Homo-oligomer: A and B are copies of this chain.
Amino acid sequence: MSPARPATRRLTRYLPILGWARHYDRSTAASDLVAAVIVTIMLIPQSLAYALLAGLPAQMGLYASILPLVAYAIFGTSRTLAVGPVAVISLMTAAAVANLGLTDPAAIALAAGTLAFLSGLMLTALGLLRLGFLANFLSHPVIAGFITASGVLIAASQLKHILGVEAEGHTLIGLTGSLLAHIGQTNILTLVIGSLATAFLFWVRKGLKPRLLAAGLPPRLADIGAKAGPVAAVFVTTLLTWALNLSGWGGVKVVGAVPMGLPPLTVPSFDPTLWSQLFLSALLISIIGFVESVSVAQTLAAKRRQRISPDQELIGLGTSNLAASLSGGFPVTGGFSRSVVNFDAGAETPAAGAYTAVGILVATLVLTPLLYFLPKATLAATIIVAVLSLVDFSILGRAWRYSRVDFAAVFATIALTLGFGVEAGVSAGVLISILLHLYKTSRPHVAEVGLVPGTQHFRNILRHRVLTRPDIVTLRVDESLYFANARFLEDYVLDRIARDPAPKHVVLMFAAVNEVDMSALETLEELNRRLAETGITLHLSEIKGPVMDRLKRSHFLDDLSGQVFLAQYDAWAALTAAEAGQAQAG
C-alpha cells in the first residue's frame, strides 16, 4: 500500500536475500547449520580435487568455495543450490588455460582468475539484460552428450595420477597416447593406493547405502553417510602416507605444502590480449555453467514447489564468479552432487551456503597442514568415481530411436568433445543444433488435405479417407514461413500446379503458419502473381491473429486474387458453391 512497496519488490528481485532473511528464525538456522556441516565435510576433498583437475594449486579449490558461496547466498534465488568448483567447468578451465601455453604457475593462476572474472562479467551482464533464455539454445540431448563425453575425458585425465606418471592432452586420443607412452614408469605403490581408493569409493557409492539402510539408518542419513566416503578415503590414505613415509621412499605424489590462512585478495588481469584469448572460453564456461546450475536448481526447487528466476540466477552465478576472481579462486557454478547433499541434509535457505563458506574458511585456517601427505591418487579416485556417474551413453540410443536429427547432434557433440576437447564439443553442439533446426524448417512438411466426411475437419489425403475436388487444391503448410523456407513453398506450389492442369483454386491453409516474415511475404506476393498469370486464384484460410495483423500492414491482402476465409470449411463451402454455380450457368 505504501509507495515504497514497488521499490522494495524491485530491490528484492535483485537481492533475493531481502526476501528470505526477514523470516529467518532459529529453527531455520538450525537446519541450515546441520546441512552446512555436512556439505563442508564433503566439499573439502572435492575442492582440492577439482583444483587439481583444473591444473591449479590445491588451495585455489578451497578459496573458490568461500566467497563465491557468500555471493550466491546474497544474489541467488535457489534455496538449496551449492556453488563452487565443479568437474566439467574445472576441465574447461584447464583446457582454456592450456591454450595459452603458459608455464609460470603464477601466470596460470592469474589466467584462471581472469577467466572467472570474464565469466562473472558475462553472466552478470546477461542477467541484467534478462537474457537467460539464451541458455535454451543448448538442446537437452546435446547437453546430455556433452556431459557424458566430458565425464569420459575427465576420468581419462585422472588416470595419470592413479598410475603416478606424467601425461597430458585435452582429447581422448591425446590423453590415451600420452598415458601409453609413459605407462612403463608406473609407480606401483601409487597404483595400489589409487586402485584401492577407487574401489572403496565405488563400493561406498553402490554398496554402503543399502547396508546402512539395512542397519536401520533413516534413508537420508544413510545417503549422507555414503556421500562421506571420500572424506574417509582422504583421511585413511593421508594417515598411511604420513605414517609409512610413502611419499619419501615410495615416490607417492602428495598434495604438499598448502598455504595456511585467509584467501588472498587477487586482482584479475586487464591485459586486452589475454581477454581476447580467453573470451570464447569464458563464454562457453558461462553457458555450460549456467545450464548445469539452472537445471540442478530447477529440479530441487520443483521438489519443494519453490520457483527460481533464471535471469536472477545469472546474476547469482555472475557475482559468485566475480567473487572467485577477487579471492584467489577460479570459475565456479552450482554443482549437482553437493546441491543434492545440501538439499537432503535439510538446508532451507541460502544461509546454509554462507555457513559452508565459514566451514571451508576454518579449514583453510586450520586443516591445511594436515593435507600435506594427502596422495594425489586419492583425489583422482574421488574425481573418477564422481564423474563416471555422469557418464550415460544411453542418450545415443534414445536419440536414435526418437529422431535421427537429435541423434546427429548428440553423436557429433560426443565425438567432437572426445576427439577435439570440450570447447570444440560444446561449440559444435550449439551450432549443430541450430543448423539442423534451420535445415529441418527449411524444407517444411506440406500436406494436401481434403474434408473428413461428416465433419468440418480437413486432413492429409494420403493418410485419411477424405473428400476432394479436382478444381480445388488445398495445401496445409506445416511450418512458419520465413527466409529459410520461403522459396521452398513457392517451388512446391508451382510444381503441384505444373503436374496437374485441372485446379482453378489453390487454398493455402495457414493453421500451422505462426509467422510470415518479410522474405516470405515477398514470396507469397510472387506466388499470387504467378498463379494469377495462369488463371488460378489463390485463397488463404485459418490465418492466425498475429499473422493476420502482420499481413494487414502490407499490400498483400489487397492484391490477393482470391479470398481469406476464417475456417477451411468456409473456403470449401464457398468455392464448391461458386464452381457449382458456374457449371450450372455454363
Contact = CB atoms under 8 A, between A and B. Distances in A.
Interface of A: 133, 136-142, 302, 398-399, 401-403, 405-406, 433-434, 437-445, 447, 452, 455-457, 459-460, 463, 478-480, 482-488, 511-515, 517-519, 521-522, 530, 544-546, 550, 553-554, 566-567, 569
Contacts of A518: 139-141, 398-399, 402-403, 406
B545 A457 contact: no
Contact of A136 (B302, B483, B567, B569): B483
Contacts of A485: 136
How many copies the complex holds: the figure is 2
Contacts of A437: 438, 482-484, 517
A480 to B, nearest CB: 7
Nearest to A554: B402
Contact of A512 (B460, B488, B511, B519): B511
A398 to B, nearest CB: 8
A442 B136 contact: yes
B483 A137 contact: yes
B519 A137 contact: no
B442 A438 contact: no
Contacts of A514: 441, 444-445, 478-479, 512
Given A434-B434, A512-B512, A518-B403, A483 B138 contact: yes
A86 to B, nearest CB: 22
Given A457-B567, A567-B455, A517 B487 contact: no
Contacts of A405: 517
Given A445-B544, A478-B544, 16 more contacts: A133-B439, A133-B488, A136-B483, A136-B484, A139-B482, A140-B522, A402-B518, A402-B554, A403-B518, A406-B517, A433-B483, A441-B480, A457-B566, A478-B546, A512-B514, A512-B544
Contacts of A484: 136-137, 437
A517 B403 contact: yes
